[in-house]
Chain A
Amino acid sequence: MMGQPDPSTVRLTPAGQAEFDSFSPDKDPTLRCLMPGIPLGLVDPYPIEIVQQEHQILILYEHFHQVRRIFMDGREAPDHWLPSYIGYSTGEWDGDTLVIRTTHMHPDNYMWTAGFPFSGDENTYVIERWWREGDVLRFTGEVHDPTYYEEPYVVNGLWNYAPDGEIWEYECIPEFGGIE
């Protein structure tokens, strides 16, 4: 299934179910003009640009002007690194597949706005795998959140190569979040 998983297949822990049951739209960061980050922004409907350098891969998002830095030089998150919506990402190649590990994600986020929560505690991490098939870039993302989920929450997606694609500005006004 593309995008988010079939909700009927998601297995929440009791703590996760309690969060699901208390979901409120105003907990969605994007409706307050905060970036979706990771994991909410793993599946994103706006264009992205990928820039590859020796020491890092940059993903530049139209959506909320997000920037992801995926460090490819073996470094690890420094001790002082604070939780953030975009998290801290490191990557390595497994054959022709880019494997990204993301930690330090913000607890004030959601897995998916259908009400699926995300704890953002110290045990959460995301493993993404990206690989290219011609002009299509495919990815899977496994979100590990054992506090709220019995097993990893898995998303899938694809990106189409767009040589004439454009990245636009994404200004945002919280009063238009639509929480009424």
Chain B
Amino acid sequence: MKQLATLGLSASLVLLAGLPAAAHHNGATYFDTSTTIEHSGATVVEYAIVNPHGRLSYTFTDADGNEQEWSAELASANNLRRRGLGGEIFKPGDQLVSVSGNPSRSGANFMRLESAEFADGTVANFSGPNRGIIPGPGREAL
């Protein structure tokens, strides 16, 4: 028997994709990746670590004093967990300095999350090759 592996009968080998996780979905289909919007003073409602996509739900008060409810799409739960973004990073009621991402093309209160910043300077980065937690000066690594 020819072998893709050279490990004997009934060989088994585990392989990791040589492609970025973002390779599966083309975000530009659903989100305006040429635009980044930022919401200041957000309050976390829920951080859901779910497949096929996680979600951060939050509220913030707009310039007119109206409270808006938004949600932000994340990578898959499995991808978030491999990047150290799968724990209790956000808890309901957490205050965030800002939430940034690409707005949905549908016009809904929905975005693809790029990053979120806490008051102590910690940044949760959800885009690019450096996805993960970047601790601020007042926080130990999560």
Chain A residues, CB < 8 A from B17: 44-48, 157, 159-160
Within 27-63 of A, Cβ neighbours of B (below 8 Å) are at 28, 30-31, 33, 36, 43-54, 57, 62
Binary A-proximity of B62-79 (CB < 8 A = 1, otherwise 0): 000000000001001111
- Chain B residues near A44: list those with CB within 8 A: 17, 24
Shortest B46–chain A CB gap in Å is 11
Mask: chain B, 1-36; 1 = CB below 8 Å from A; 0 = not: 111110000111111111111111110111000000
B10 and A52 within 8 A (CB): yes
Interchain CB contact under 8 A, B14 and A167:
yes
Whether, in the assembled complex, A5 has its beta carbon less than 8 Å from a beta carbon of chain B, the answer is no
Number of B residues with CB within 8 Å of any CB on chain A: 42
Q: A173 contacts which chain B residues (CB < 8 A)?
A: 50-51
**Contact (Cβ within 8 A) A132 B19:** no
B54–A176 CB distance below 8 A = yes
B39 lies within 8 A of chain A by Cβ = no
Whether B1 pairs with A172 at a CB distance below 8 angstroms is no
Q: How far is the CA of A53 from the CA of B25 in the complex (A)?
A: 33
- Flag whether B104 is at the interface (Cβ < 8 A): yes
What residues on A are CB-neighbors of B104 within 8 Å? 180
Residues B52 and A33 in contact, CB atoms below 8 Å apart = yes
Q: Assess the B14–A48 pair: CB atoms within 8 A.
A: yes
Q: Is the CB of A93 within 8 A of B2?
A: yes
A96–B5 Cα gap in the complex (Å)? 11
Min distance, Cβ B132 to any Cβ of chain A, angstroms: 17
B16 in contact with A165 (CB, 8 Å) = yes
The verdict on A45 contacting B20 (CB below 8 Å), with A112-B26, A163-B14 known, is: yes
**Chain A residues whose CB sits within 8 angstroms of the CB of B29 once the complex forms:** 23, 25, 113-115
Within 8 A of B (CB), among A86-137: 93, 96, 98, 112-115, 130, 132, 136-137
Interface presence of B130 (CB below 8 A): no
- The listed residue (A53, A171, A176) touching B48 by CB distance below 8 A is A176
Interface contact A180-B25, CB-CB below 8 Å: no
Q: Which residues of B contact A52 (CB under 8 A)?
A: 1, 3-5, 10-12
B107 closest partner in A (C-beta): A180
A95 to chain B, nearest CB (A): 9
B11 neighbours in A (Cβ, 8 Å)? 51-52
Which residues of A lie under 8 Å from residue B73 when comparing CB positions? 178
Q: Which of B20, B52, B76, B110 has its CB near the most chain A CB atoms (within 10 A)?
A: B52
29 A–B contacts from the bound complex (CB under 8 Å): A2-B18, A4-B23, A23-B29, A36-B24, A43-B19, A45-B17, A45-B20, A45-B23, A45-B24, A47-B17, A48-B14, A49-B12, A50-B12, A52-B3, A52-B4, A96-B2, A114-B28, A114-B29, A136-B18, A159-B17, A161-B13, A162-B14, A162-B16, A165-B16, A170-B76, A176-B50, A176-B52, A176-B55, A178-B52
